Amino acid sequence: MIAGPLRPLGTRSVSLPAVGMGCAPLGGLRAPVSEEAADSALRAAWDAGVRYFDTSPWYGRGISELRLGRFLRQFPRQDFILSTKVGRTLHRPVDAANYRSEFWMGGLPFEHRFDYTYDGIMRSYEQSLMRLGLNTVDSLLIHDLDLSELGGSSDIVEHHMRDLERSGWRALESLRHYAEIGAVGAGVNICGTIPELLQRFELDFFMVAMPYTLLSQEPLEDEFRLCRERGVGIIVGSPFASGILATGSRSARPLYYYVPADEAMIAKTRRIESVCARREVPLKAAA
C-alpha cells in the first residue's frame, strides 16, 4: 500500500500523493537518455518516496512507457499510482530504413498519428498497456488536444475535438464506467483549453503543463474557478516551467516553455530568486 497522506483528485474516489514524477525526460527530451540513467532516475524517485508516475506514448515515442513499466513491474501493483495518455497511436514508418526522429533526441523509431476516435483511443490505451507490461493504469488523460500541439489552424483542433465528441469520449466513459480506469483527465498546454473541454466533456481532472507556474498564473481566477465549481481536480504538471525554475536564471541556457528563455522571463525569474533568497527558500522548493 502507498504510505503517507493522499489528496482527493476531484470528486471521484481517486487520490494522489502531493508529489509525483513526470516521465517525459525518460524519452530523451533534450539529449539521449541511457537505460542506466533512466533506471537511476526512477530508483532515486522511488527511494525518495515518490509513488505517483505519469507517462505518455508520445514521450520518446513509447520508450518512456517501456522504461517506466520495466521499473515498476518489480513492485506490487497496489504500491504505486500510474497515469498515461491517449490521443496518439504509434506506427511503423513507411520508410523504416531512412526514418529520422523529430523532437525527441532519443526514443523509438515509430511515427505517431493523432487519433481521438473510439478506435484511436482504445488502440492507444491497449498499446500503452503492452509497452508498460502492466494490465491496469489508474487514469487516462486526453493528450495535446490544442492548437499549440496540433498546429495548423483552429479547424484542425475542432476536427479532432469532434472525433472525441462523436466516438472517442464513449471509449473513455466506458473504461471509467467499468472501472478499468479510475478517472479521465486532460493535459493542458495553453489557456482556453480548460473551458472548451469542460463545456463538452465530464472530466475528472486537468494536468496543467505550462500556464500555471511561479512565472505565470493566468488560469487561476477564471479557468481554475470553473474547475472548482465543478469539482474537477488540478495537477500542476510543469512546476519548473520546463527548466528555468529548476536551474535558475544564471544557468548557461535557461529554458522556458521548452525553448531558451527570453530576457523578460529571465529578469522575472531573478526577481523571484531575490524573494526566495530573503526568505531562505530554494527556488525549486518554492516552484
85 in active site: yes
CA angle 244, 247, 248 (to 5 degrees): 70
Grid coordinates in use for 79?
504500491
Task: Extract the C-alpha cell encoding 128.
Answer: 500503452
Helix (H) / strand (E) element for 66: namely: helix 63-72
Q: Determine which one of 52, 59, 116, 257 is catalytic.
A: 59
All three cell numbers of 53, joined, read 508516475
Catalytic residue among 39, 47, 52, 54: 54
Confirm whether 54 is a catalytic residue: yes
* Axis crossing angle, helix 35-47 with helix 63-72, rounded to the nearest 10: 50
Question: Which candidate in 39, 47, 79, 85 is catalytic?
Answer: 85
Q: Catalytic: 284?
A: no
From 118, 226, 128, select the one nearest 162 (Cα to Cα): 118
Cα dist from 148 to 43, 66, 129, 185, whole Å: 33, 26, 27, 18
56-83 as b/e: b if 16+ CB within 10 A: bbbbbbbbbbbbbbbbbeeeeeeebbbb
Active-site amino acid positions: 54, 59, 85
